[in-house]
């Protein structure tokens, strides 16, 4: 079976984790700060806050912006549910935006119509690993006084007009789940240039507890206060040790992802029923996913045929506004985002991970060729 995504772990990664386990400092130790510092530098942001998942990263971002009941946040519907769920966690309302048919990225032209006096933020998703049109998004955010968040869970190592993903929005969220670019098992990170937002998110990931140094001096070292409702969203030191090692290998891995994409692109140029997503010239793509749109052939038939031959294709995603929870709670449903709904019936994610050999890629290409002609 060739899966659609897979982590790469080597002996040195394992050793780094074991070392921390032997050190006795399992959590909230020096490894967390080091991973944060190196990560922030890597994405060219001032601050990085490590958390226990990409979902926790999104939740912390929405919290830090003070979004709550009555507030609306615009999110693309072509994404993983967590992008919208984080708004609901804090009592806000996600407003689903349709996507561009060629890239499946949030369509800036459709955002203005969704803005109301209650709108507080836009969460952009760099779907498949391609950064959104940040020039347009920044323009809208600035003109309309909205916060801009990047759900960058697909795009670690990508860039837009030479600027790193992680530095493109006020808050930028990453996931370290095993199918993502680097892994810590479960894990996440938020990057920002704003020290106050970083401070709030550090408190949020630790139950809402502050330890003010001056207060500690007055009351003794035992003193702490819970100033707001937070969660235990901490990442452990041994996970951070793994993340740090993984980050060293990211650039090489992304180079390989781009090579695989290039081979797919070349092979599908001659297959009229297979249309890869469009890539705009402004971006350096991180290829978390390689998504094709099928034309004139039945997607589910192709899916079944590929799965039957051991090719782990997948569908990313069922548009979030079609999920039963959102239909029930917010009254969303078919017709709300027609472009995403139409694309959803035709998309397929092909295997894409740095450990793929040339032979694996050839196997996938041959199987797709057979399946669409089958």
| Least distance (Å) between residue 177 CB and ligand PLP | 4
Round to whole Å and give the CA distance between 90 and 102: 33
| Least distance (Å) between residue 278 CB and ligand PLP | 19
Round to whole Å and give the CA distance between 49 and 136: 27
Round to whole Å and give the CA distance between 89 and 92: 7
Q: Which of 336, 254, 236, 345 is nearest to 301 (CA)?
A: 345
Residue with smaller CB distance to ligand PLP, 179 or 244: 179
Neighbouring C-beta atoms of residue 74, cutoff 10 Å: 23
Residue with smaller CB distance to ligand PLP, 50 or 372: 50
| Least distance (Å) between residue 125 CB and ligand PLP | 5
Q: How is residue 124 written in tokens?
A: 């952009």
Q: Which of 281, 261, 58, 278 is nearest to 152 (CA)?
A: 58
Residue with smaller CB distance to ligand PLP, 106 or 241: 106
Going from the C-alpha of 113 to that of each of 133, 140, 160, 247, 336, the distances in angstroms are 17, 11, 25, 40, 13
Report which residue's Cβ sits closest to ligand PLP: 54
| Least distance (Å) between residue 49 CB and ligand PLP | 14
DSSP 118: T
| Least distance (Å) between residue 127 CB and ligand PLP | 7
Q: How is residue 130 written in tokens?
A: 């391609």
Sites of contact with ligand PLP (CB under 6 A): 53-55, 79-80, 82-83, 125, 151, 153-154, 175, 177, 188
Q: How is residue 267 written in tokens?
A: 């092979």
Neighbouring C-beta atoms of residue 49, cutoff 10 Å: 29
Q: Which of 111, 77, 117 is nearest to 94 (CA)?
A: 77
| Least distance (Å) between residue 39 CB and ligand PLP | 15
Contact 297, 372 (CB under 8 A): yes
Residue with smaller CB distance to ligand PLP, 188 or 354: 188
Round to whole Å and give the CA distance between 192 and 318: 30
Round to whole Å and give the CA distance between 323 and 59: 20
Residue with smaller CB distance to ligand PLP, 40 or 128: 128
Is the link from the previous residue into 297 a cis peptide, with omega within 30 of 0? no
The catalytic site residues sit at 180
Residue with smaller CB distance to ligand PLP, 55 or 130: 55
């Amino acid at each position: 079976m060739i899966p659609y995504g897979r982590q790469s772990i080597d002996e040195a990664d394992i050793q780094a984790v074991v070392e921390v386990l032997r050190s006795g400092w399992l959590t909230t130790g020096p490894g967390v700060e080091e991973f944060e510092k190196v990560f922030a530098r890597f994405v060219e942001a001032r601050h990085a806050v490590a958390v226990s998942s990409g979902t926790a990263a999104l939740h912390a971002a929405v919290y830090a912006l003070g979004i709550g009941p009555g507030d609306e946040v615009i999110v693309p519907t072509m994404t993983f549910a967590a992008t919208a769920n984080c708004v609901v966690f804090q009592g806000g309302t996600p407003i689903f935006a349709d996507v561009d048919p060629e890239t499946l990225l949030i369509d800036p032209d459709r955002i203005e119509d969704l803005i109301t006096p209650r709108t507080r933020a836009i969460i952009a998703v760099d779907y498949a690993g391609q950064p959104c049109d940040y020039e347009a998004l920044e323009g809208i955010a600035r003109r309309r006084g909205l916060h801009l968040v990047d759900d960058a869970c697909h795009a670690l190592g990508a860039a837009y007009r030479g600027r790193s993903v992680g530095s493109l929005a006020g808050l930028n969220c990453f996931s370290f789940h095993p199918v993502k670019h680097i892994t810590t098992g479960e894990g996440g990170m938020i990057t920002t240039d704003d020290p106050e937002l970083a401070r709030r998110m550090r408190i949020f990931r630790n139950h809402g507890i502050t330890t003010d140094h001056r207060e500690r001096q007055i009351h003794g070292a035992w003193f702490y206060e819970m100033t707001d409702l937070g969660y235990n969203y901490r990442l452990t030191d041994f996970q951070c040790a793994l993340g740090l090692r993984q980050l060293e290998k990211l650039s090489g891995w992304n180079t390989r992802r781009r090579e695989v994409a290039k081979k797919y692109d070349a092979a599908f140029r001659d297959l009229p029923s297979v249309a890869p997503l469009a890539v705009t010239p402004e971006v350096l793509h991180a290829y978390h996913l390689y998504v094709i749109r099928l034309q004139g052939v039945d997607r589910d038939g192709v899916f079944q045929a590929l799965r039957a031959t051991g090719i782990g294709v997948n569908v990313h995603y069922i548009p979030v506004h079609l999920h039963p929870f959102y239909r029930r709670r917010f009254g969303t449903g078919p017709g709300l985002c027609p472009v995403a709904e139409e694309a959803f019936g035709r998309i397929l994610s092909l295997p894409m991970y740095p450990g793929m050999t040339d032979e694996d890629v050839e196997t996938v290409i041959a199987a797709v060729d057979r399946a669409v002609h089958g």
